[in-house]
């Protein structure tokens, strides 16, 4: 066994360790943008205390999603009827039964030129099912788009 056969793997290991340490330092420098934390009496205050949101009605409250503190917009809860659910199911059925011009098909080829498989991609139905919100007295709406109920 020669000295070169012992030193070469150790040198390669040292290069890998140095590269890993350098990548970790670069990753530590690239931090996510910091969120501003303001006083809770500011209507546009933002905080990371998302656990402070409650189901009980409060005039000033925290958003359970983004943690924004303030007098969020309010609306009355929706009462879902059977006709609302039937209309939603009809729109969903029409979405899946219509002629599919927007379906995309890809063929994945192998190195030899043969077809490995064919992939078909269709759009998804994104309209949420109607929800009965009558258990809440008010629905709060945050600037981030989150809606939640309070009693």
Query: Is 66 inside a domain boundary?
Result: yes
Q: Both 92 and 58 in a single domain?
A: yes
Query: Is 9 inside a domain boundary?
Result: yes
Query: Is 114 inside a domain boundary?
Result: no
CA nearest neighbour of 95 among 128, 129, 122, 125 = 125
Q: What is the pTM of this model?
A: 0.44
Say if CB 69 and CB 40 are below 8 A apart. Answer: yes
Indicate the DSSP class of residue 123: -
Element (H, E) at 16: helix 3-29
Place of tokens 């008010």: 138
Q: Which two tokens stand for residue 89?
A: 């199911």
Distance, CA of 76 to CA of 129 (rounded, Å): 18
Q: Both 22 and 70 in a single domain?
A: no
Q: Both 67 and 38 in a single domain?
A: yes
**Is the confidence at residue 135, as pLDDT, over 80?**
yes
**Residue 37 pLDDT class (50, 70, 90 cuts):** very low
């Amino acid at each position: 066994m020669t000295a070169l056969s012992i030193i070469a793997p150790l040198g390669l290991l040292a290069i890998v360790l140095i590269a890993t340490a350098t990548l970790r330092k670069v990753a530590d420098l690239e931090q996510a943008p910091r969120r501003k934390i303001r006083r809770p009496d500011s209507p546009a205050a933002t905080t990371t205390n998302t656990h402070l949101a409650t189901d009980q009605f409060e005039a000033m409250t925290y958003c359970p999603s983004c943690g924004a503190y303030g007098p969020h917009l309010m609306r009355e809860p929706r009462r879902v009827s059977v006709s609302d659910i039937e209309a939603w199911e009809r729109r969903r059925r029409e979405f899946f039964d219509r002629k599919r011009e927007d379906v995309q098909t890809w063929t994945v080829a192998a190195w030899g030129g043969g077809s490995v498989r064919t992939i078909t991609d269709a759009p998804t139905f994104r309209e949420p099912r109607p929800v009965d919100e009558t258990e809440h007295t008010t629905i709060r709406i945050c600037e981030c788009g989150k809606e939640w109920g309070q009693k």
